[in-house]
Structures are given as C-alpha cells and as structure tokens.
Copies of this chain bind each other. A is one copy, B any other.
C-alpha cells in the first residue's frame, strides 16, 4: 500500500516526521512488515537522528554547513541560487530512501531515534514523500 505525505518547511533544518510516517502505517491494516519512505526531491533528504536533545541536530547541521558551504567558488551550478548546489551535495551525503520494519503496528525505531526530513534550501517549500507499506 502506498501513502503520500506532504511536509511544509520554512527554511533549513530537520523536521521530525516520525508521527506522520507512523500515521501512514496505521492507516493500513498490516500488523507487521516493512515501511519504506522516499523523498521526491534532490535538495532535501531523510535522516534518522536523535529525537531528544535538539543540540545534536544543530551540531549536525552546522558541521554540514561548514563542509558544504554556500558560495564555494568551485561551484558552477549557481543559477538557482547559492544554496542550491550545497543542497544537492547534502542530499547525496544523507538518505533519499529509508526502510524501517514494523511490529504490532509500530515502527521498530530505537528509543532515541526519530525520522527527520532535512530541508537544505533557504526558502520554505512543500516537500513530498512517498510511503510504501508491505507485509
């Protein structure tokens, strides 16, 4: 079964979508199986990260910004703005698809794990994900 999720973002950062994925899963009648998430963009991505202390996510964003900086003079793909090319690189370094098993209708995430959509562009957008739920 396939479900579609839309996530509104208002700038760079990680947006937790664990609940939205869990709800997509709950809308099916399956007790156990595999839930796969795919983001339909190349300037935003997916990541499983700590859901407790937000400083971990800020440090991760900051590390990425230092290593894939806007305005890198090597970039030639600049017509869509200085934040576009870093977005593609950050997306390539993280995940476009994630597959998470579920049992008793619950994703088998670890205690401290959350699923995040990582917006890499400066401006807000509506980001689309596809969820596949199989037995």
* Residue ranges of A at the interface with B (Cβ–Cβ < 8 Å): 2, 32-34, 36, 38-42, 47-50, 53, 55-56, 58-60, 62-63, 66-68, 72, 74-77, 79, 84-85, 88-89, 91-101, 103, 108-113, 128, 130-132, 134-135
Contact = CB atoms under 8 A, between A and B. Distances in A.
A110 B97 contact: no
Contact of A63 (B42, B89, B109): B89
Nearest to A103: B2
Given A56-B88, A96-B95, A103-B2, A42 B49 contact: yes
The oligomer's copy count stands at 3
Name the prevailing secondary structure of the A interface residues.
mixed
Contact of A109 (B33, B34, B40, B131): B40
